[in-house]
Structure 1
Amino acid sequence: MKFLVKVLVPCRLALQVQLRATKTIPTYSLCVSSNLPYVNTRTMAQRSITSFFKVTPSKQVAKEEISDKDNGIVNGDDSSSSPDNTKISKRPRLESSDSDSSPKKKQQSTPDGKVKKKVKRQRIESSGSEAEASSENDHSPAGTAPATSPLPKKPQIKVEKSSPKTYQSPKSKKKKPLTEPNGIKKSPSPKKIKKENSTEDTIHESTVKEEKGDVLELSSPEQLVPEAEYDPSKARYHPVRDACWARGRPVPYLALARTLELVEATSARLKIIDTLANYLRSVIALTPEDLLASVYMCLNQLAPAYEGLELGVAETYLMKAVAGSTGRTLAQVRAGVAREGDLGRVAEAARAAQRTMFPAPPLTLRGVFAALQDIARTTGQASMNKKISKIQTLYVACRHSEARYLIRSLEGKLRIGLAEQSVLQALAVATVLTPPGPDGVTELDASKNMSPEQFKARVESQALSIKSAYCQCPHYGRLLAALLRHGASALADHVRLQPGIPLKPMLAHPSKNVSHIFDRFEDEQFTCEWKYDGERAQIHVPAGADGAAPDLQGAAYPDILRRLPALLKESVTSCVLDCEAVAYDTEKKQILPFQVLSTRKRKEAREEDIRVQVCVFVFDLLYLNGEPTVQRPLLERRALLREHFRETPGEWQFATSRDCTTVDEVQQFMEEAVKNSCEGLMVKALSGEQARYDIARRSHNWLKLKKDYLDGVGDTLDLVVIGAYLGRGKRAGVFGGFLLACRDPDSEQYQALCKLGTGFSDDQLRDLTAELRPLQLAAPRAYYSAGAAPDVWLDAAAVWEVRAADLSLSPAHRAAIGRVAPDKGISLRFPRFVRVRPDKRPEQATTAAQVADMYLAQDQVKNSAASLAHYDEFY
Structure 2
Amino acid sequence: MFLFKPSNENKNSYDPSKSKYDMVNDACWKTNEKVPFIALAKTFSAIEDVSGRLKSIEIMSNYISSVMALSHEDLVKSIYLCLNKVAPDYEGIELGIGTSLLMKALSEATGRNMAQLKKQLNDIGDIGSCSEISKTNQRLLVQPKPLTVQHVFDTFKSIATMTGRNVMSNKVEKIKSLITCSQPIESRYIMRALSGKMRIGLGEKSLITAIAQAYMIYKNPDNRKQLDSERFKEKLNKNVSLLQTAFNECPNYDKLIPALLENGFDDLSKSCYLIPGIPLKPMLAHPTKGVREVLQRLEGLEFTCEYKYDGERAQIHLDNQGKIYIYSRNQENNTGKYPDIVKLMPDVMKSDVKSFIIDCEAVAYDVVNKQILPFQVLSTRKRKNVEESDIKVHICLFAFDLIYFNDESLVKKSLYERRQLLQENFEFIEGQFMRASSKDLNDIDVIQEFLDESIKNKCEGLMVKTLHKDASYEIAKRSFKWLKLKKDYLEGTGDTLDLIPIGAYYGRGKRTGVYGGFLLACYDDKNDEFQSICKIGTGFSDEDLATLSTSLKDLSISKPKSYYNVDETLKADVWFEANQVWEIKCADLSISPVYKAAIGIIDPQKGISLRFPRFIKVRDDKKPEDGTTAAQVAEMYLNQENQMNSANNEDDNNNDEQNESNSKSKTDEFY
Query: If the length of structure 2 is used for normalisation, what is the TM-score?
Result: 0.91
State the alpha-carbon separation in 1 of the partners of residues 299 and 463 from structure 2: 17
State the alpha-carbon separation in 2 of the partners of residues 674 and 593 from structure 1: 12
**Contact between 1:567 and 1:652, CA under 8 Å: does it hold in 2?**
yes
Q: Letter of the aligned partner of 1:523 in structure 2?
A: G
State the alpha-carbon separation in 1 of the partners of residues 339 and 427 from structure 2: 20
Alignment of 1:199-278 (within 5 A): 208=2, 212=3, 216-217=4-5, 223-278=7-62
Aligned to 1:421: 205
- SS at 1:390 equivalent: helix
Aligned to 1:823: 605
**Contact between 1:815 and 1:825, CA under 8 Å: does it hold in 2?**
yes
**Contact between 2:125 and 2:557, CA under 8 Å: does it hold in 1?**
no
Aligned to 1:358: 142
The CA deviation string for residues 554-591 of structure 1, in whole angstroms up to 9 with x for no partner, is 71111111111121111110011111000111111111
Residues 1:446 and 1:835: Cα distance change in structure 2 (over 3 Å): closer
Alignment partner of 1:665 is 2:474: no
Deviation at 1:598, TM superposition (A): 0.7
Residues 1:531 and 1:451: Cα distance change in structure 2 (over 3 Å): closer
Aligned to 1:135: none
State the alpha-carbon separation in 1 of the partners of residues 571 and 227 from structure 2: 52
Q: Letter of the aligned partner of 2:421 in structure 1?
A: L
Residues 1:321 and 1:447: Cα distance change in structure 2 (over 3 Å): closer
**Contact between 2:520 and 2:533, CA under 8 Å: does it hold in 1?**
yes
Alignment partner of 1:744 is 2:524: yes
Residues 1:246 and 1:825: Cα distance change in structure 2 (over 3 Å): same
Residues 1:514 and 1:383: Cα distance change in structure 2 (over 3 Å): same
Aligned to 1:512: 289
State the alpha-carbon separation in 2 of the partners of residues 409 and 574 from structure 1: 38
Most deviating of 286-295 and 730-739: 730-739
Residues 1:675 and 1:545: Cα distance change in structure 2 (over 3 Å): closer
- SS at 1:555 equivalent: helix
Aligned length: 636
Q: Letter of the aligned partner of 1:601 in structure 2?
A: K
Query: 1:629 is matched with which residue: 380, 393, 410?
Result: 410
Aligned to 1:683: 464
Query: 2:494 is matched with which residue: 714, 721, 729?
Result: 714
Q: Letter of the aligned partner of 2:617 in structure 1?
A: R
Alignment partner of 1:793 is 2:571: no
Q: Which runs of 4+ in 1 moved over 3 A?
A: 443-454, 544-547, 859-864
Residues 1:862 and 1:236: Cα distance change in structure 2 (over 3 Å): farther
Alignment partner of 1:503 is 2:283: no
The CA deviation string for residues 518-539 of structure 1, in whole angstroms up to 9 with x for no partner, is 2211212221111000000111
Deviation at 1:820, TM superposition (A): 2.2
Deviation at 1:217, TM superposition (A): 4.1
Q: Letter of the aligned partner of 2:339 in structure 1?
A: P
Aligned to 1:463: 240
Q: Letter of the aligned partner of 1:492 in structure 2?
A: S
Deviation at 1:336, TM superposition (A): 2.2
Q: Letter of the aligned partner of 2:75 in structure 1?
A: L
The CA deviation string for residues 267-287 of structure 1, in whole angstroms up to 9 with x for no partner, is 211111111112111111111
Aligned to 2:338: 557
Query: 2:258 is matched with which residue: 468, 473, 481?
Result: 481
Most deviating of 505-514 and 340-349: 340-349
- SS at 1:488 equivalent: coil
Most deviating of 238-247 and 770-779: 770-779
State the alpha-carbon separation in 1 of the partners of residues 575 and 74 from structure 2: 40
Alignment of 1:370-409 (within 5 A): 370-409=154-193
Alignment partner of 1:606 is 2:387: yes
State the alpha-carbon separation in 1 of the partners of residues 100 and 468 from structure 2: 55
State the alpha-carbon separation in 1 of the partners of residues 155 and 343 from structure 2: 39
**Contact between 1:742 and 1:847, CA under 8 Å: does it hold in 2?**
yes
Aligned to 1:536: 313
- SS at 1:599 equivalent: coil
Q: Letter of the aligned partner of 2:403 in structure 1?
A: L
- SS at 1:640 equivalent: helix
Most deviating of 260-269 and 224-233: 224-233
**Contact between 1:499 and 1:574, CA under 8 Å: does it hold in 2?**
yes
Unpaired runs of at least 5, structure 1: 1-206, 436-442, 865-875
Unpaired runs of at least 5, structure 2: 325-332, 647-671
Aligned to 1:494: 271
**Contact between 2:205 and 2:525, CA under 8 Å: does it hold in 1?**
no
Query: 1:851 is matched with which residue: 600, 609, 633?
Result: 633
Residues 1:773 and 1:553: Cα distance change in structure 2 (over 3 Å): closer
State the alpha-carbon separation in 1 of the partners of residues 24 and 70 from structure 2: 7
Aligned to 1:76: none
Aligned to 2:616: 834
Deviation at 1:622, TM superposition (A): 0.9
Residues 1:228 and 1:307: Cα distance change in structure 2 (over 3 Å): same
State the alpha-carbon separation in 2 of the partners of residues 827 and 795 from structure 1: 21
Query: 1:758 is matched with which residue: 538, 549, 566?
Result: 538
Deviation at 1:451, TM superposition (A): 10
The CA deviation string for residues 494-547 of structure 1, in whole angstroms up to 9 with x for no partner, is 211001111111111111111211221121222111100000011110113599
Aligned to 2:657: none
State the alpha-carbon separation in 2 of the partners of residues 383 and 265 from structure 1: 37
State the alpha-carbon separation in 2 of the partners of residues 755 and 489 from structure 1: 47
Q: Letter of the aligned partner of 2:65 in structure 1?
A: R
State the alpha-carbon separation in 2 of the partners of residues 456 and 791 from structure 1: 45
Give the alignment's Cα RMSD to 1 decimal.
2.1
**Contact between 2:514 and 2:549, CA under 8 Å: does it hold in 1?**
yes
Deviation at 1:599, TM superposition (A): 0.9
Q: Letter of the aligned partner of 2:25 in structure 1?
A: R
Residues 1:806 and 1:608: Cα distance change in structure 2 (over 3 Å): same
**Contact between 1:566 and 1:648, CA under 8 Å: does it hold in 2?**
no
Deviation at 1:609, TM superposition (A): 1.2
Aligned to 1:201: none
Deviation at 1:491, TM superposition (A): 0.5
Aligned to 1:158: none
Deviation at 1:797, TM superposition (A): 2.1
State the alpha-carbon separation in 1 of the partners of residues 188 and 296 from structure 2: 52
Residues 1:685 and 1:224: Cα distance change in structure 2 (over 3 Å): farther
Deviation at 1:853, TM superposition (A): 1.6
Aligned to 1:525: 302
Aligned to 1:439: none
State the alpha-carbon separation in 2 of the partners of residues 858 and 238 from structure 1: 47
